[in-house]
Amino acid sequence: ATAARQSLKVGLIPADGIGKEVIPAARAAIEALGSDIPKLEFVDLQAGFELFARRGTALPEETVEALQECNCALFGAVSSPIKKVTGYSSPIVALRKKLDLYANVRPVVSVAANAGDKPSVDLVVVRENTECLYVKQETITSSETGREARATRLITERASRRIGKMAFEIALKRPRKQVTIIHKSNVLSVTDGLFRESVRGVSHSAEDGRYDGVRIEEQIVDSAVYRLFREPQIYDVMVAPNLYGDIISDAAAALVGSLGLVPSVNAGDNFVMGEPVHGSAPDIAGQDIANPLASIRSAALMLRHLGYGRGADRIDSAVDTVIREGQVLTPDLGGKSKTQEVVAEVLKRI
C-alpha cells in the first residue's frame, strides 16, 4: 500500500498549550524531507479544552470527518481540567475510539555519546489501548462491614491478537526481533492467561511463517519493571495489556530523561496519529521554550508506521545529532535555547 500512495494527507491538531508551539515544528520536519515521502497536504483542525471553553465542544464533528479523509495526523496535547467540567470529555480518548486506534506505541531510546554507538536503552512499548480495566465498569455496594468496590477487567482474544500482531510487525522491522509479553498470569490466570496465549497464538498461526524469526519472551509485570530499571538493554519490543502498558511506558520514559523527548503514536489498521507523550504544559506555554523534539520524533514515528522508514531515519538522526552536540537545547535539557532555535537546528540537519 505504501508504494502506491501518491500523496499524503496529514491532519494537524495542535489543541492546547504548548501543542500550538510543537506541532508546527513537527510539520516543518516532515516538509523538510522533500523527496523521501509523497506529495504532502496538511489540514489544520481544531480540538481541545480551549476550544471547549469557547464553543462548548472539545471535538467538533467536522474535525472527525476531516480526519477520516486523512492518511494520518499529528496531535499536540489537551489540557485536563483539574475539576470535573460538565459536558467536557477528553478529545484524545474520543479520537482513539472513533478512529479505532487500538495500539499506543512508544519507543524509548537513549542517545549514545558518539554517533554510531549503540544506545543503552532502545525499546518499544506496545500498549493495548481499548480494554483491560479501562472499560471503566465500576460498581460500589454496601455491606455490613463497609462499602465494596469492584471493577471489571475485560480481555478479549480479538483485541489481544491484534495488539500481538502489531508488536510482531514492529519487531520484524527491528534488528533484534524480540517480543516480550508482559502479564501477571501467575495471579490472573484467566484474563492475563488469555492475553498471553492470544499473543503467542498470532505467531503460531501466521501464514507462511511470517513471524518465525521473532523470538518470544515473557515476563511477569512486577519483575519486568524491576529489570527495566536494572538492565533495560534486555528488552526490544514489550507488549502489554492496557494498565500494565500505561505504567511500563511511563516508567520507561523516565529512563531517558525529559518528557520533552518522548514520542508516541496511536495506531490502528487504517490510521496512525503521532502524539508527544507530554501534556499541554500550561506552566511554560506561550514562552517559546517548550522542547519540540518529542513532537518531531512523533512525526518520524508516524512516517515509520506508514512505511516511510528512510524519511523517519533522517528526522531521528537529525534529532539525535542535535541532542548529542548539546549546543542548541531547550531549558528542560539544561540548555538556553528557544523552541524556534531548536527547530531551526533540526531542520538544518535534516
Binding site for ligand ATP (CB under 6 A): 18, 77, 79-80, 259-260, 278-284, 290-291, 294, 330, 332
CB of 154 to ligand ATP, least distance (A): 26
Is 279 one of the binding residues for Mg ion (CB under 5 A)? Answer: yes
Q: If contact means CB under 5 to 8 A according to the sort of partner, which of Mg ion, ligand ATP, none does residue 240 touch? A: none
Q: If contact means CB under 5 to 8 A according to the sort of partner, which of Mg ion, ligand ATP, none does residue 198 touch? A: none
- CB nearer to Mg ion: pick between 232 and 274: 274
Q: Which stretch binds Mg ion (CB under 5 A): 260-268, 272-280, 302-310, 313-321?
A: 272-280
- CB nearer to ligand ATP: pick between 167 and 253: 253
Question: How far is 63 from 86, CA to CA, in rounded Å?
Answer: 21
- CB nearer to Mg ion: pick between 77 and 214: 77
Query: Which grid cell is 205?
Result: 498461526
Residue nearest to Mg ion (CB): 279
- Residue 101: what residue type? L
319 within 8 A of 348, measured Cβ to Cβ: no
Residue nearest to ligand ATP (CB): 279
- CB nearer to ligand ATP: pick between 216 and 315: 315
Question: How far is 333 from 206, CA to CA, in rounded Å?
Answer: 44
199 within 8 A of 167, measured Cβ to Cβ: yes
**Residue 18 to residues 237, 243, 273, 287, Cα–Cα distance (Å):** 30, 27, 18, 9
**Site map (CB under 5 A) of Mg ion, residues 120-139, x = contact:** --------------------
CB of 78 to ligand ATP, least distance (A): 6
- CB nearer to Mg ion: pick between 119 and 279: 279
102 within 8 A of 266, measured Cβ to Cβ: no
CB of 328 to ligand ATP, least distance (A): 14
Cα 31–287–53 angle (5° rounding)?
90
**Residue 133 to residues 130, 139, 160, 339, Cα–Cα distance (Å):** 9, 13, 14, 38
- Backbone angles phi and psi of 57, in degrees to 5: -140, 135
- CB nearer to ligand ATP: pick between 18 and 179: 18
Q: If contact means CB under 5 to 8 A according to the sort of partner, which of Mg ion, ligand ATP, none does residue 171 touch? A: none
Q: Burial level of 240, CB count in 10 A (0-12/13-18/19+)?
A: buried
267 Cβ contact partners less than 8 Å away, ≥ 6 residues apart? 101, 102, 103, 104, 105, 166, 273, 305
Is 258 one of the binding residues for Mg ion (CB under 5 A)? Answer: no
- Residue 108: what residue type? V
> Which residues are annotated as catalytic?
134, 184, 222, 246, 250
- Residue 11: what residue type? G
CB of 279 to Mg ion, least distance (A): 3
Q: Which stretch binds Mg ion (CB under 5 A): 42-50, 85-93, 101-109, 276-284?
A: 276-284
CB of 182 to ligand ATP, least distance (A): 24
CB of 129 to ligand ATP, least distance (A): 18
User: Which stretches of the chain bind Mg ion, using CB under 5 A?
Assistant: 279
